[in-house]
Amino acid sequence: MEPLFGVVLGLILAVASPAHDTCTCATNKWAVCAQDGPGNCTCRLAGSHHPVDCSTLTSKCFLMKAEMIPLKEKRLWRPPQGVSDSDGIYNPDCEDSGVFKARQCNQSSSCWCVNTAGVRRTEKGGRSLSCSELVRTRWIYIELTHKRSSSAFGVPDVAKALTQLFESRYKLHPKYIAAIKYDPPLIQIRLDQNKKPRWDVDIADVAYYFEKDVNNDSVFPSNSKLTVSVNGDALAIEKLWIYYVDEKPPEFCMRQLAAGISAVVTVVVLTAGIGIAVLLVLRWLRTRTYKKFECKEMREIKAPSIE
């Protein structure tokens, strides 16, 4: 009976192991997954109770929160570099749906308004700051350059490869890719999403996933590395810039702009003043030298000659 029991136990383990291995999140390496029933795998965001839909992208707001979780709450995963920009690192406030709350604050009680991409669109204020609405980011412009290669890429081939990439890897419908322009080595991509149905991914999430992929800090599992090929040749992305355009213009006040203009004017005035002073000094020195030379000549003319 013991050999038979060993065979049965081995079969059970063999069947159970693949089921356990499949309980992972294909679109978020920071998701914590557990098998809570036969064929039922539930994944939640690390450090929170928010469920994660692994068939699509996780919202940027939830990802930013996950990036702020200490290492011990992420099992053995290496914590990525925190979200950094001119406003510093902050832990975003998210709605239950995963979208950013219109007002964001940091630990120093400094608050500001953001768009649907989580990018600041107002001056910073105190806790009394009111953000009436979450303004939608309608357009996203992506500029990137690739490394020079011996083989030249055709414009249609590059556009086709990137369209397939955004559709297959980031679940973005091609109708939201408004344009792709290629002028080697520069590639320009414009994503346009005026309104987002509930079942479509947000272009802000797509841009964030793409940015993390290019910076070698992918949100996808480690075995899902970004590879872009054009007709079998690798398209090695070198640099990346992302620009956000909202439905409404940003609400930065003129104080910062006025301060910048004042600084520029001050520098110009000081430079002009120094230049004028230098010219006056040089003119004075030249005039003084000329007068000395003139006086010397007069003395030589008036002096009696000795024969």
Cα atoms in the 13 Å half-sphere on the side-chain side of 243: 8
pLDDT of 293 reads 55
Buried residues in 142-168 as b, exposed as e (16+ CB within 10 A): bebebeeeeeebeeeebbebbeebbee
- Beta-bridged to residue 188, according to DSSP, are 143, 181
CA dist., res. 71 & res. 77, Å (int): 7
pLDDT of 142 reads 93
Could you say which residues of the chain have pLDDT below 50?
1-20, 71-86, 88, 254-259, 306-307
Average pLDDT value for the chain: 78
pLDDT of 163 reads 95
Q: What is the pLDDT of residues 151-178, one digit of tens each?
A: 678 889 999 999 999 999 999 999 999 9
Per DSSP, helices labelled H in the chain are: 2-21, 60-67, 155-168, 203-214, 254-302
pLDDT of 205 reads 95
Residues 6+ apart with CB under 8 A from 306: none
Tokens for 263?
A: 């600084």
Amino acid code (one letter) for 104: Q
Q: What is the pLDDT of residues 99-141, one digit of tens each?
A: 999 999 987 788 999 999 999 999 999 989 999 999 999 999 9
